[in-house]
Amino acid sequence: MISMITTTAAPLFRRAVFQQTRLAFRNNNMSTTAASASDIISSLSSSTPLVGTDIELAVTSLANADAVCFDVDSTVIQEEGIDVLADFLGKGEEVSALTKQAMEGNTKFEDALRQRLDLLRPSKADIESCLQKHPLQKSPGVTDFIASLQKSGKDVFLVSGGFRIMIEGLANDLHISKKNIYANTILFDKEGMYTGFDDSEFTSADMGKPKAVKYLETTFGYDTIVMIGDGATDAQAKPPAKAFIGYGGVVERSAVKEKADWFVTDFDSLTHVVDKFAVNNKKK
């Protein structure tokens, strides 16, 4: 088990190099001021201890990131999209059990994905009706956090094991281009009936998220990518992601908490870091 670091007003540093890291942050787009990792951490609220294996790395990576990747289910939204669809189709319990196994890393993702879709066999009309009657609920604070990232010039991607057809509307609400969605594509015939899924998508298989992040790094020349998510598949994205921030605002998973450079249960502290210390490294 990876030992955890808890940090209050007097932060503990495991890596001396980050004590020397200097970052520039923007002040109303008019001036810059030097800020160290200790400056960033000490600016965070001391009422709740910070938790993570390398908090200095996480905060400096977030401030200096040129791209941030989000998981969607139980991170950007407050539920698992496939579970919402399964409940709508009357197969919630069976699918929820398989989803839990996948998120906790007890089943290969591609196996769980195939098993769940074979149970559901959703038509295009089923999915559209589900989203109309049960709109996906965003996690508190995520809209403001993503807006802050975008305002600071950081590219935002949705890298999800969920379904593109269910995510596109959410992305539109968050002003994220469809080009910035890396998710699973459900296949339909000309009548809109389920025929399978596209197994060439990065996130259709285990270790798909690190492959997606590596693709982004290589394609766009990003120096610093941060991955944020609630599941074991999100933790796999580091490396190539420089830092992994675990999110437990919907569900806390012990395996994720143990691997996260920084583990949070809301987006407020992340928004604070970006608003106060972000460096604009926009490349795309």
Active site residues: 71, 73
**Closest to 113 (Cα-Cα) out of 129, 128, 95, 136:** 95
Letter string b/e over residues 184-213, b meaning 16 or more CB atoms within 10 A of that residue's CB: bbbebeeeeebeebeeebbbbbbebbbbbb
DSSP code at position 139: P
Cβ atoms < 10 Å from Cβ of 111: 14
Comparing C-alpha atoms, which of 205, 213, 212, 257 is closest to residue 231? 257
Nearest to 170 by CA among 146, 187, 204: 146
Which helix (H) or strand (E) is 33 found in, with range?
Answer: strand 31-36
DSSP secondary structure, 11-26, as one string: ---S-HHHHH-EEEEE
C-beta of residue 44 within 8 angstroms of C-beta of residue 204:
no
Q: CA–CA separation, 36 vs 70, rounded Å?
A: 25
CA quadruple 268, 261, 244, 151: dihedral sign? positive
